[in-house]
Chains A and B, each alone.
Chain A
Amino acid sequence: MADLLNAFAIAGKAFFGFQAIFFALLAIGLNVHFGYTGLLNFGQIAFAMLGGFGIAISVSQWGLPFWVGVLVGVLAAVVLALLLGLPTLRLRADYLAIVTIATAEGLRLVFRSVSATPVTGGTRGLSAFNRDFVALAPWDTGRRYDLIGTTWSGSELWVVTIGWILVALCSLLVWALMRSPWGRVVKAIREDEDAVRSLGKNVYAYKMQALVLGGIFGAFGGMVYAIGTGSAIPDQYQNANTFLAYAALILGGAARVLGPVIGSMLLLFILQFADTGLRSLIANGVIPAELLSSTDVAQLRYVLVGIGLMLLLVFRPQGIFGDRREVMLDAR
């Protein structure tokens, strides 16, 4: 029982941890792309990687101030969005999907390649770039703090605080946009591009704006991740993260402002709870070691998430916040 309580506490920390922020920001971006505009971006992690490395390279390699690094990361994401959008947004939705998935994988391979090592640090990546940021914390970052049964280091707490403020601001921005006529056009594009064109809206420009905006959110996610881990390593930015972010989005409810945020928190909670809980059950002998060894747990928790998602799609296809009527409508 104490073990389960402990697992609950650890999972509770994951609920608020920087990884949840990372996925929340990725998913907010995907929500703008997929949930509202209907753009299939399968390479959101590429934007995150540019955000993370924007800071890492600027600070560690070029010796620029931290905030300039943030700016570099955002600009890189904007450029990537333009490069991806220019050739594909005039075409059918699936072309963007193909191009983004290839770009995410290709960009990671470029960043970890030997020839890129002088800039990106290759497979070992870059570190020691978040000192300026941690120094801004108004409390002692060397200490450890106990909050509701969990222990946080001072710098961890600082990253998480700023991270959630960022998530709140991004959600606020999405909320403000989606209640405006701009949001109405974008949602209409999701439903039927040609109808929107016939009403005098420049669909291409709107799709581009949405792609850039969601990409910037993704870059913020990558920055939080890089600062949270204290290092930027290309292989951290596997494209599987994009799909986990999609899972979080669908769990929370697409085209809802808080859907991606709550979805990410729950996703991380479930993953962590399954992990710690299963390990303690194995250690206590409740689950016999022949049936399941603790090394299998890391894989099994994703199986559990998968089963959970399947149940969700069967019984609540709209996600936690979604509107069932909306999901049940025919595509046409």
Chain B
Amino acid sequence: MPADPAPHGAHAARSEEATVPAGGAAPAGATRAQPQRVAQAALRDVPWEVGVAKPDPAIVVDHVTRTFGGLTAVSVDHLEIQRGGITGLIGPNGAGKTTLFNLLTGFDQPNTGTWSFNGRDLGKLSPHQVARLGVVRTFQLTKALSRLTVLQNMLLGAQGQRGESFLRALVPGTWKAQEKANTERAMDLLRRFKLDAKKDDFAGSLSGGQRKLLEMARALMSEPQVVMLDEPMAGVNPALTQSLLGHVKDLREEGMTVIFVEHDMDVVRDISDWVVVMAAGKVIAEGAPDSISQNKAVVDAYLGAHHDAPLSEEEEDRFLAEDQAAERARREDVISSDRGRKRRTGR
């Protein structure tokens, strides 16, 4: 699919959103833009409350808890993820985002709780079974398979390969045709992610950003329905971030459900349809991206709820006024000395 990530800047996204309620046909093609519009329109009327029911949930989480010794890493009462939308999962370090990812994909088993995908219970499934159902994930620390080539990395993602069974592997006739088709699909994806020139290089020789791209492309080889990205932009330079953002949006436009963990709020505001905020293992807020920065619980979680608690309100005002006065005085100082310097050099 020829999708150029360049047009997907923050502004492009805004303008698209603006045209959505009017029902204006996007030039990108009505079929491709369809799922995005559906998800956004569906989420428009959903109230911004924790545990709110979504019109068309792909993943439903109920009463999931996971403790490590005395520490409760995850304790989510109810969470629904809208199908075909991009859901951002944010929260301070140690909030339990990655642990929740691990639980949902079978990499970790919870102490209690159930969760389902398309109404199918996912509890007790092992990671490869979850992946076969169409829920594929990436990792916070990129897991490129270093001593395999880029193309081999991609081919590994393909599902239902006949040649992966031991006995059929010995009879190339049973898998050669499928391998050829998979290779073509892999090359298409590599071209889209601009990695096609690197196809015969070892994945271990790629840069950090290219590995992120490869990992995402490899996940797409499995033709997933839900893509879970654990910090896809971490450690990636700003130019590549834009390209990655474009790819994530493309996933939504192809009808996939995307859940991603991210720390960069600009990124989250830019691409997500819905944002879930976690802190200390709990979901403390969810809502449209714009609702989150004003949410008191979120601000408290990031900055500390009681960092100013011992002070009374009068005290707080007084300290604030003093601070501001001091700041003003300092700034005027700087400006006047600045002016003095200019005068001297100007004449």
Contacts and interface: CB of A to CB of B under 8 A. Distances in A.
A132 interface: no
Contacts of A195: 139, 143-145, 215
A203 B106 CA distance: 14
Given A184-B156, A198-B127, A200-B131, A209 B147 contact: no
Interface in B137-167: 137-139, 143-148, 152-153, 155-157, 159, 161-166
A196 B286 CA distance: 32
A197 B148 contact: no
B128 interface: yes
Interface string A170-207: 00010011001111110110111011111111110000
A290 interface: no
Nearest to B167: A182
A187 B147 contact: yes
B189 to A, nearest CB: 14
Nearest to B137: A198
B128 A185 contact: no
A329 B204 contact: yes
B131 A188 contact: no
A181 B161 contact: yes
Contacts of A203: 128
A173 B131 CA distance: 30
B205 interface: yes
Contacts of B127: 194, 197-198
Contacts of A329: 146-147, 202, 204-205
A146 interface: no
Contact of A198 (B139, B144, B172, B175): B139
A195 B155 CA distance: 13
A276 to B, nearest CB: 40
B139 A199 contact: no
B169 A200 contact: no
Given A184-B152, A188-B145, A188-B152, 13 more contacts: A180-B169, A181-B155, A181-B175, A182-B164, A187-B148, A188-B148, A191-B148, A195-B143, A198-B138, A199-B131, A202-B128, A330-B146, A331-B146
Interface of B: 105, 107, 126-129, 131-132, 136-139, 143-148, 152-153, 155-157, 159, 161-166, 169-170, 172, 175, 179, 202, 204-205, 215, 218-219, 221-222
25 contacts: A180-B172, A181-B175, A182-B165, A184-B155, A187-B147, A187-B148, A192-B145, A194-B107, A194-B143, A195-B215, A196-B145, A196-B156, A197-B127, A197-B131, A198-B105, A198-B137, A198-B139, A199-B156, A199-B218, A199-B221, A200-B128, A200-B132, A202-B126, A332-B146, A332-B204
